[in-house]
Amino acid sequence: MIEPSSRLRDFMTYAFAEVDNAKERARTAGYKIIDFGVGDPTEPLYAGAVKGLQQGAEKHSRSGYPSYIGMKAFREASASWMQKRFGVNVNPDTQVTTTAGSKEAVFHLPFAFINPGDAVLMPSIGYPPYKAGTVFAGGTPEYYQLEERNGFVPSLEEISSVLQKNNRIRMIWINYPNNPTTATAGEDFYRGIIQLAKRHNVIVASDEAYTEMYVKERPHSLLEYSDDWSNLIVMQSLSKRSNATGIRLGFAVGGSELIGLYRKLRTQIDSGVANAVQEAGIAALSDESHVEEMRRLYDRKRKVITSALDDVGISYMAHSTFYVWANVGSDSIEFSKNMLMLDKKNKTGLNITPGSMLAIGNAPDAARYARFALVPSLEDTEAAAQMIRENLKG
């Protein structure tokens, strides 16, 4: 029998297994499931990106392996977009590198900077690759709390205390707008985390995959709040912005030395992102109208679900991203399992993600929450809202 590595074995216990088993039982019983579980957009890839992909395949039919760091044209498009969107000046030659979306970028980043025994500080509720990448790089995960009482924004005092106590911390992950809580961070937080990182000589890695998914106030980037990026790196992605989860494209921006070392790591991982995919990205980054339309559609879905939650007395957060973070007031796993067979008369249910399954560290508040990903069609979202009103009221 072939055995997995000890590190892989630690991640083989699938956290969603209990809910997945309940989902299978519901489907076996004949239930239609409207799926608000995984944050994977169901709307089509931006049409301009599709055209760019098609033309790129022709243009680069004899180009051979792509560049490890990305085509210059894509890095220039990324730098130009960062300047227009966040007002920061990025050198495309030294401060940008292309990634295959943000998941692999997040997972691999610790391999460039973490030695065995080093620690990485990350949110107690958050994206699993923060933890997985740290562990596979030989590092130790440490956690700061995301708590309801603080609006799920970290306490700078707590982070300062952790950094003072543990001198093995080499990196801090932050993520705003936040998955899953939808919280946004303000200037005081960004300036504070930059100051702490400088004081303790640690890297701040900011996962900014959801900056383009907001209701009214545009979220900010970490890079806006310092002219010294020597220990700052940001991960951006086209996955949510342009419904581009299927083509796997993103980019990292940060200090020249950080990006230089990260580029060296990436030469060991793969042979770069396909040129045709980068051509699609250039087209997507040059157009904002499809992003505005995306926001309008998610806002309609957001209002549909939150109105239903209001009617049945369930509080929630829905500030940014395309999630609704609902306080179900009980064991979120049991609540989510029951939602799979919510409408017994019409044999229809809803799949949502229990908050406790999104806790990568000890996070008691997560157990009371569940996440709706607003990815079903508007029609299915309206049907789900009606089910909530009819079956959860009182």
Residue-wise DSSP of 334-392 = HHHHHHTT-BTTTTEEEE-EEGGGGBSS--GGGGGEEEEE--S-HHHHHHHHHHHHHHH
Q: Does residue 154 share a domain with residue 257?
A: yes
3-class secondary structure, 235: strand
Domain housing 187: 62-286
- Which residue, of 257, 286, 315, is where some domain finishes? 286
Q: How many domains does the chain have?
A: 2
What is the per-residue pLDDT for 10? 78
The answer to whether the beta carbons of residues 381 and 65 sit under 8 Å apart is: no
Residue 85 lies in a domain: yes
Q: Domain with 298 in it: what CATH number?
A: 3.90.1150.10
The answer to whether the beta carbons of residues 50 and 254 sit under 8 Å apart is: no
Beta bridge partners of 351: 35
Q: Does residue 197 share a domain with residue 136?
A: yes
Poorest-confidence range of 71-75, 113-117, 333-337, 383-387? 333-337
- In angstroms, the CA 123 to CA 288 distance is 31
- CA-only gyration radius of the chain, Å: 21
* Mean pLDDT across the chain: 94
For the cut 80, the answer to whether the pLDDT of residue 69 exceeds it is yes
Q: Does residue 331 share a domain with residue 206?
A: no
Q: Does residue 204 share a domain with residue 185?
A: yes
The answer to whether the beta carbons of residues 110 and 161 sit under 8 Å apart is: no
Residue 326: exposure state from Cβ atoms within 10 A (0-12, 13-18, ≥19): buried
Q: Which of 173, 186, 193 is nearest to 127 (CA)?
A: 173
For the cut 80, the answer to whether the pLDDT of residue 215 exceeds it is yes
- Contacts of 287-296 with C-beta under 8 Å, sequence gap 24+, read 287/46, 287/48, 290/46, 290/47, 290/48, 290/242, 291/212, 291/241, 291/242, 294/43, 294/212, 294/213, 294/241, 294/242, 294/243, 295/212, 295/213, 295/214, 295/215
For the cut 90, the answer to whether the pLDDT of residue 381 exceeds it is yes
Q: Which of 39, 42, 35 is nearest to 351 (CA)?
A: 35
**Could you report the per-residue pLDDT of 130-189, keeping only the tens digit for each?**
999 999 999 999 999 999 999 999 999 999 999 999 999 999 999 999 999 999 999 999
Mean pLDDT of 300-328: 97
- pTM for the model stands at 0.95
3-class secondary structure, 3: coil
The answer to whether the beta carbons of residues 347 and 29 sit under 8 Å apart is: yes
Q: Which two structure tokens, joined as six digits, stand for 135?
A: 């562990």
Q: Does residue 237 share a domain with residue 216?
A: yes
- In angstroms, the CA 151 to CA 194 distance is 20
**Could you report the per-residue pLDDT of 72-129, keeping only the tens digit for each?**
999 999 999 999 999 999 999 999 999 999 999 999 999 999 999 999 999 999 999 9
- Which residue, of 268, 286, 304, is where some domain finishes? 286
Q: How confident is the model at residue 12 (pLDDT cuts 50, 70, 90)?
A: low
For the cut 80, the answer to whether the pLDDT of residue 15 exceeds it is no
* Residue showing tokens 């239930």: 31
Q: Domain with 105 in it: what CATH number?
A: 3.40.640.10
**Could you report the per-residue pLDDT of 23-50, keeping only the tens digit for each?**
888 888 898 999 998 888 999 999 999 9
Q: How confident is the model at residue 20 (pLDDT cuts 50, 70, 90)?
A: confident
Beta bridge partners of 123: 144
Residues 6+ apart with CB under 8 A from 24: none
